[in-house]
């Protein structure tokens, strides 16, 4: 091989290709599928063995454009050439081969899965080169949810890659649109059931490649991406629900090293979430978790929020400040300064709700004292809660009095009157019955 003449070798390669092209033509015109496929694959293999990458690209394009080329031959050629991508000597040759195969596969349904895999490889290369936006644009060209023959896990993995790239380029709107292509219910499918044999006429679903994660691993990736998305909007309740979904994954639940950081994050984000019925339900269900025996301080934190007592912010912050700062070393990273401000806001809101349960009327000055705030701050927080419909209250500013009683509309007032009248008439009827009963027992005539 050392004395091999390149020019002679090139001529020899061209002659061999020409010979195989004639064979391919005869087989194609005769409609011989197996023969055509073999001839096409032999040409591709010949180019690869000679490491003639430009010739390989040219032959792929030429063979795909030959008159009446068989679908099976194009599929075999693309699949064979894809095996050579990782064997290319440099990145430029690799990109060129991928682009050639992509152009050949474009618009052909029978090689749509191969094209999706090619685009994914090209996007990965672009990402490694630091071209995140270009990689994201490439991935968005492919709509794998319409591919009937692609394995479910491969589809999910592809869409998740699209979402990740959108998040990396901070395109949060498109990330949300793409994430909605995946229903969370798909992760709860029972994978232990035996696969049904496809009926005649059904599309045969291909096996997922070996590098595609399992369904439960994809579930974790999905919710981690959703946490990244919701963190952008500071949607604490949704972040908490995502961590809850990760928490119940068997591999996480069985390993304390994994579930302890997740449970910590669940607690923090429940506390950070604005008070409403969903937050309250999540808070109470979380408190029932037996794993809190490992995290007694977090159980105490949640317990304070369900107890109708005023919480002193300074005392609480002194107690939990260290744990709050420790989150930077845990799963999901630090909670940040914004979260610290929102935590104080949630404690103030909790205290206002507690006050509204015990008082129907209270002075603004007294409310400020209970909340350890200035009058202006207390009024602002109260007004914000009324505007967000977390609380019903009215402020008489000249008198400095807050009324927590709900204003009743005319229908409620009429209904309460009707109910009261019904009770009164019922009492009168019972009284009359008792009087008549007594007179009958003692046989005493009533004097009118």
pLDDT tens figures, 163-177: 999 898 888 898 899
**Range(s) of the domain holding residue 436:** 419-448
- Identify the domain boundary among 105, 138, 155: 105
Determine the Cα–Cα distance for residues 416 and 414; give it in Å rounded to an integer. 5
- Identify the domain boundary among 80, 105, 130: 105
Find the mean pLDDT for residues 347-359: 86
Q: Examine residue 425 and state whether it is found in any structural domain, yes or no.
A: yes
In the prediction, which pLDDT does 7 show? 41
Q: Which residues contact 297 (CB under 8 A, 6 or more apart)?
A: 319, 320, 323
Question: Of 193-197, 202-206, 377-381, 405-409, which has the strongest mean pLDDT?
Answer: 377-381
Tracing tokens 């009164």 back to the chain, one arrives at 424
Find the mean pLDDT for residues 361-378: 84
Q: Examine residue 25 and state whether it is found in any structural domain, yes or no.
A: yes
Q: pLDDT at residue 90 above 60? A: yes
Q: Can you read off the two tokens belonging to residue 25?
A: 């033509």
Per the CB < 8 A criterion, the answer to whether 120 and 139 are in contact is: yes
In the prediction, which pLDDT does 190 show? 58
Question: What tens digit of pLDDT does each residue of 259-285 get?
Answer: 888 888 888 888 888 888 888 888 888
Give residue 226's pLDDT band: very low, low, confident or very high (50, 70, 90).
Answer: very high
In the prediction, which pLDDT does 136 show? 86
Determine the Cα–Cα distance for residues 317 and 247; give it in Å rounded to an integer. 26
Question: What tens digit of pLDDT does each residue of 239-250 get?
Answer: 999 998 998 888
Q: Is the pTM of this model over 0.75?
A: yes
Q: Examine residue 280 and state whether it is found in any structural domain, yes or no.
A: no
Q: Examine residue 177 and state whether it is found in any structural domain, yes or no.
A: no
Q: Examine residue 432 and state whether it is found in any structural domain, yes or no.
A: yes
In the prediction, which pLDDT does 408 show? 65
Q: What share of the chain in percent tops pLDDT 90?
A: 3
Find the mean pLDDT for residues 397-402: 83
- Identify the domain boundary among 41, 75, 105: 105
Q: Examine residue 285 and state whether it is found in any structural domain, yes or no.
A: no
Q: Provide φ and ψ at 296, rounded to 5°.
A: -60, -30
Give residue 200's pLDDT band: very low, low, confident or very high (50, 70, 90).
Answer: very low
Number of domains in the chain: 2
Three-class DSSP category at 55: helix
Q: Examine residue 125 and state whether it is found in any structural domain, yes or no.
A: no
In the prediction, which pLDDT does 261 show? 87
């Amino acid at each position: 091989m050392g004395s091999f003449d390149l020019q002679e070798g090139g001529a020899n390669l061209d002659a061999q290709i020409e010979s195989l092209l004639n064979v391919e033509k005869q087989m194609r015109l005769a409609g011989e599928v197996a023969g055509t496929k073999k001839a096409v694959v032999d040409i591709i293999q010949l180019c690869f063995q000679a490491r003639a990458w430009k010739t390989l690209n040219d032959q792929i394009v030429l063979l795909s454009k030959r008159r009446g080329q068989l679908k099976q031959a194009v599929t075999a050629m693309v699949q064979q050439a894809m095996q050579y991508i990782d064997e290319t000597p440099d990145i430029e040759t690799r990109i060129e081969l991928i682009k050639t195969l992509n152009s050949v596969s474009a618009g052909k349904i029978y090689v749509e899965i191969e094209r999706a895999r090619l685009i994914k490889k090209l996007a990965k290369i672009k990402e490694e080169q630091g071209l995140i936006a270009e990689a994201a644009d490439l991935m968005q060209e492919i709509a794998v949810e319409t591919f009937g023959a692609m394995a479910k896990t491969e589809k999910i993995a592809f869409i998740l890659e699209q979402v990740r790239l959108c998040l990396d380029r901070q395109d949060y709107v498109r990330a949300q649109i793409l994430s909605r292509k995946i229903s969370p219910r798909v992760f709860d499918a029972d994978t232990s059931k035996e696969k049904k044999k496809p009926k005649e006429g059904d599309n045969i679903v291909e096996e997922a490649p070996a590098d595609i994660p399992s369904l439960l691993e994809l579930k974790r990736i999905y919710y981690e991406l959703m946490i990244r998305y919701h963190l952008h909007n500071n949607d604490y309740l949704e972040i908490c629900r995502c961590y809850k979904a990760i928490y119940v994954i068997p591999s996480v639940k069985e390993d304390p090293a994994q579930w302890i950081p997740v449970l910590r994050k669940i607690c923090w984000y429940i506390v950070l979430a604005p008070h409403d019925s969903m937050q309250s339900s999540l808070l109470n269900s979380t408190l029932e978790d037996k794993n809190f025996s490992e995290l007694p301080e977090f159980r105490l934190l949640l317990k304070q929020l369900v107890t109708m007592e005023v919480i002193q912010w300074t005392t609480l912050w002194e107690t939990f400040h260290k744990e709050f700062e420790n989150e930077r070393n845990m799963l999901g990273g630090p909670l940040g300064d914004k979260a610290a401000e929102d935590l104080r806001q949630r404690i103030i809101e909790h205290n206002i709700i507690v006050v509204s349960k015990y008082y129907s009327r209270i002075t603004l000055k007294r409310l400020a004292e209970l909340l350890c705030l200035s009058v202006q701050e207390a009024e602002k927080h109260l007004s914000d809660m009324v505007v967000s419909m977390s609380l019903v209250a009215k402020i008489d500013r000249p008198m400095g009095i807050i009324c927590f009683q709900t204003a009743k509309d005319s229908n409620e007032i009429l209904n309460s009157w009707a109910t009261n009248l019904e009770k009164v008439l019922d009492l009168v009827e019972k009284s009359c019955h008792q009087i008549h009963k007594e007179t009958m027992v003692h046989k005493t005539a009533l004097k009118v």
